[in-house]
Structures are given as structure tokens and as C-alpha cells.
A = this chain, B = another copy of it.
Amino acid sequence: MREILDAVASGDLSPAEAEARLAGYATTDAGRFDAAREQRRGIPEAVLAEGKTPDEVASMALAALETTGRALITRADDDHVAAVREALPADATVERDDRARTLAVHGPSFDPPDIDARVAVVTGGTSDAAVAGEAAMLVRAVGATVERIEDVGVAHLGRILDHLETLRAADIVVVAAGREGALPTVVAGLIDTPVIGVPVSTGYGHGGEGESALLSMLQSCTVLSVVNVDAGFTAGAQAGLIARAIAGAREE
């Protein structure tokens, strides 16, 4: 604790960041931001914009930036993005992924992590891109390399087989798929790398809200682990944790 206070005294640490480190979270009008999550859990907290007002998102994004040097925002629409951009200090850099509806903001002094691990993020079709993009943001946030493989649905097996080499070169594979959700099973059957399946809520009629894809992945006749429907964030974060473990082992 003394260390933190010395750093505040010397100006190396903002009071907000110091408070966040000591208390474990930053308090904003829109709720608490878990500033200590990255230290405790190895993955940064993100701000879920959906269901929040633009002002609330901007306020939590600022708290994140001040206390951790960056802000990750998911499921942000145009209004959220505008409010965040307006609220940001001039020296912050912003990366937006339109399809994934994500925003990654870095303060000028933020030193992005860079680890020696490779995560393939695979989609079955165009409509899985948003979920996959969210996963990719999280993987990048822990410093791992992302390989995107897109539109390799099981109705056309040839497309998947074209990417076998990339899949085999990855340390972990995240596969997002909607409708019948068979892609993670087919991919996992081809390689000996851990695969994380993300069911996507595309589809229609009976089971169309992602239920069919979730069930398929839970019932897979090969080995998979799964996250909730549309949980690109969770899949990316879990892949990030595994990537950190592998990269850490490489450095031992």
C-alpha cells in the first residue's frame, strides 16, 4: 500500500488509479468498474454498453481509462460510440470494430501486453462475425495473436479443409456458429488443439434463438467446452486466459 501511495506522491499514479488499486474498483455514477479485475483474473473488465445510456457508458469508459490505462467496450451502438469519443481525452487512441460493435480505447501511456500465443477465431457464416469480433477483441486485449477464418460453414466441407494448416498452427481455437452449430464439432474432430464453441443466436423457428447451436455443442461427440449463446466476450476471455498460460509456459 505504501508503494501505491508513494507513486501517487511522486505523480507516477493518478489518485483515481490509486483508489482503484486499493479499493479494488472505481465508483462512477453508472455503477462500479472492477478496476482490479485484470490483476485478480488476468483479463481486463469490459464495459457492456447494451442496456446502458450513452452517458453511463462514457462515464464508465473514462473510469476504466483512468484506473487501468484502457477501456474495452462491447455491444456499443452509434450513440454509445459518439458519447465515448466526446468524453475521451484528446490523447487517447480508439479502435472500433463496426461489425463486432466493440471499441478499444488506450491512454497514451498504456503499454499493450504482447504474449507468444496464437488464437484462431473461426466463423460458420456472415452472421457469426459480430460474436467472433467480440472474442477477437478480448484475445488481443491479453496480447495474443488472432487468426480469423471466416465463412467455413459445414454445408461446404471443402472450405474448412482449406484452413487445416492455420487451425493446426493455433494454440487455441474459438469457433462461433449459429443454426445447427455443428462447426465446432467438425473443427475439433480435425485437430488436437483445445476448441471453445460459441453458439450464435442466428436461426429461426424452433430452437432459433441459439438453443439449437448451444445444445449441439453441449452434445458434441468430440471434445469441446462451450460458453453461453452470443458470449463472444466470454469465449475470447477464456481463450485469452489459456493463451496466457501457454505463453507463460513458453517463457519458463
Binding site for B on A (CB under 8 A): 24-25, 30-32, 34, 40-43, 51, 124-127, 129, 151, 153-159, 171-172, 179-182, 185-186, 188-194, 196, 199, 201-208, 210-231, 234-235, 237-238, 241-242, 244-247, 249-250, 252
Q: How many copies of this chain sit in the oligomeric assembly?
A: 8
Contact call A217/B180, Cβ cutoff below 8 A: yes
Bound together, the chains give a CA A159 to CA B159 distance in angstroms of 18
Q: Are A228 and B238 in contact (CB under 8 A)?
A: no
Residue with the highest number of chain B CB atoms closer than 10 Å, among A25, A51, A226: A226
Minimal beta-carbon separation of A160 from chain B (angstroms): 9
Distance of A29 from chain B, by nearest CB (Å): 10
Q: Which of A155, A199, A207 has the most CB of B within 10 A?
A: A155
A242 CA / B217 CA spacing, docked (Å): 18
Interchain Cβ contacts under 8 Å between A and B, 6 examples: A157-B157, A201-B205, A203-B219, A225-B225, A225-B235, A247-B249
Report whether B155 and A189 are in contact in the complex, using a CB–CB cutoff of 8 Å: yes
Establish whether residues B238 and A34, one from each chain, have CB atoms under 8 Å apart when the complex forms: no
Picked from B43, B125, B218, the residue with its CB within 8 Å of the CB of A207 is: B218
The one of B34, B159, B189, B216 in contact with A212, judged by C-beta atoms closer than 8 angstroms, is: B216
A252 to B190, CA, bound (A): 23
Q: How far is the CA of A252 from the CA of B225 in the complex (A)?
A: 26
User: Would you call A223 and B242 a contact (CB within 8 A)?
Assistant: no
Among B31, B180, B205, contact of A210 (Cβ-Cβ < 8 Å): B205
Contacts of A158 in B (CB 8 A): 24
In the assembled complex, how far is the CB of residue A234 from the closest CB belonging to chain B, in whole angstroms? Answer: 6
With a cutoff of 8 Å between Cβ atoms, the chain B residues found around residue A234 in the complex are: 220, 223-225
CA distance A186 to B214 in the complex (A): 18
Contact across chains for A215 and B218 when beta carbons are under 8 A apart: no
Cross-chain contact of A230 among B155, B205, B219, B230 (Cβ < 8 A): B205
Residues of chain B contacted by A154 (CB below 8 angstroms): 154, 182, 185-186, 189, 221
